[in-house]
Structure 1
């Protein structure tokens, strides 16, 4: 584990896998953390099969990273800026779910000039009212639950009210081994909401909001994912200045890394998988 200090004093913990084909920073979504098995698998695969230097980090308030407080997307962009500086001022980004939206917002912020490419895997933009749309007052209740340290309630609330997962499915999740990990990262969910809040209102994405994302971007969607996610991926690819959309058969939001990594690795490096 290595660490870097962000602008507000938050200590960001990360694991580094050294390679020779450029650097990519992995950004997890809600409840994600650097030791999440699929993040570890993705980091290892991109390093060993594509030669990338990979930084796999804990977003603030998760794992071994601290949190100086305040739910503001600018603070999370500061964290990414600190990581980019730690690797010499230039890096690519791979974001998953809300982490994909964070990657795009970082790339468009104008404050991190060294972001050269972005892979956005299923950013959960809600662009119409055909399906689930989070409640407009969600933020108030979420902050109250976190302030009271009601972690299990926070998990249930965020999964159902922010992510639209059916309540019976969430009830089943309580009896799975990874429930404890959701509880452990529950109090970081307001950061995810700060990233996504303005883009989950059921309104079309506006081109003007994304014109500053100059990095070449690959938006990935899974053919087995919910229609909301596939629709959101298509919508953001359409408004970005330099983006392509790739839908991968048999891939879902809980991805098979062997399906996800080749698309990401080949885009980031411009080459096929390294073979012995």
Structure 2
């Protein structure tokens, strides 16, 4: 029986948010990172999950199957996630990686339809030290320079070199990750500008985190930048029912380098959360 299909919802401002859907069982909605889209970032985990879960892989506006729109602000993107969740009906688990983890936090704070959440290295920008700010800032600046010269694959590679360690860069290179995501560089630059300019509530705010009643698992790699460790502790420290777990040997790009470990961790957490509810 074919289990892959597509699902679409139209947001209140007329944008179509689309995602591929795989498997059968309890619904899980996966939110991708800043570089890729739903399929590119999560496809390595599917074979380990689709026998037990219905895996929704939506993309943010301007990526994957979703339509584009000038408004890429954090609040608008959280609204998109909520529209997608509402459209599938019933409670769902929510998974987010990096920028997608922050969207998952924003959605979980505002929706009773989210009954459990897994976050893979949510980035709390306010917790970066000066060195980390410089590393990420230089990576973004170099991406912009290369994009202006028309070198999009080199541009996304330059950006990834900020949060990814050397081993992860090699894995991503071998997997064709940079070639696959290069087309999103202009969109990523636009989105980052809007994130920096945004002045509303963010996933870093204790009030947002404190509004989340669902059980939450925050994952970070053992070989990642220190601020991701601090981010995990910050998030878990402000959510009533949250726990932190370390993925041994992983850095920021665990969905690319440790898909089987992540999938096993996801499955165990979501099954236990359902049994406890």
Equivalent position of 2:42 in the other structure: 39
Tell me if structure 2 keeps the 8 A contact 1:97–1:124.
yes
Please tell me the root mean square deviation across aligned C-alpha atoms, in Å.
Answer: 3.8
Equivalent position of 2:226 in the other structure: 227
Tell me if structure 2 keeps the 8 A contact 1:98–1:192.
no
1:117-156 paired onto structure 2 within 5 Å: 117-126=116-125, 127-129=127-129, 131-133=131-133, 152=152, 155=156
1:4-63 alpha-carbon deviations (Å, 9 max, x no partner): 21221111221112422x211000001121231x51122332222xx1111012221112
Distance 2:210 2:67 in 1: 32
CA 1:208/1:54 → structure 2, altered by over 3 Å: closer, same or farther? Answer: same
Equivalent position of 2:19 in the other structure: 14
1:89-139 alpha-carbon deviations (Å, 9 max, x no partner): 42111000111111001111x2x331111100001223142531169999x
SS state at 1:47 partner: coil
Distance 2:164 2:95 in 1: 24
CA 1:240/1:8 → structure 2, altered by over 3 Å: closer, same or farther? Answer: same
Count of matched residue pairs: 257
Distance 1:164 1:247 in 2: 17
CA 1:192/1:54 → structure 2, altered by over 3 Å: closer, same or farther? Answer: farther
Deviation at 1:150, TM superposition (A): 5.6
Tell me if structure 2 keeps the 8 A contact 1:151–1:186.
no
SS state at 1:264 partner: helix
CA 1:148/1:89 → structure 2, altered by over 3 Å: closer, same or farther? Answer: farther
Tell me if structure 2 keeps the 8 A contact 1:46–1:265.
yes
Deviation at 1:223, TM superposition (A): 1.2
Equivalent position of 1:265 in the other structure: 267
Runs of 4+ in structure 1 displaced over 4 angstroms? 134-138, 147-151, 156-160, 163-166, 173-176, 192-199
Equivalent position of 1:53 in the other structure: 54
Unaligned runs of 5+ in 2: 1-5
Tell me if structure 2 keeps the 8 A contact 1:25–1:54.
yes
Q: Higher RCO, 1 or 2 (CA under 8 Å, sep at least 6)?
A: 1
Distance 1:132 1:98 in 2: 17
Tell me if structure 2 keeps the 8 A contact 1:102–1:195.
no
1:71 is aligned to 2:72: yes
Equivalent position of 1:188 in the other structure: 187
Distance 1:18 1:176 in 2: 24
- TM-score normalized by the length of structure 2: 0.76
Deviation at 1:181, TM superposition (A): 2.2
Equivalent position of 1:249 in the other structure: 248
Tell me if structure 1 keeps the 8 A contact 2:19–2:64.
no
Distance 2:136 2:226 in 1: 22
Deviation at 1:195, TM superposition (A): 5.2
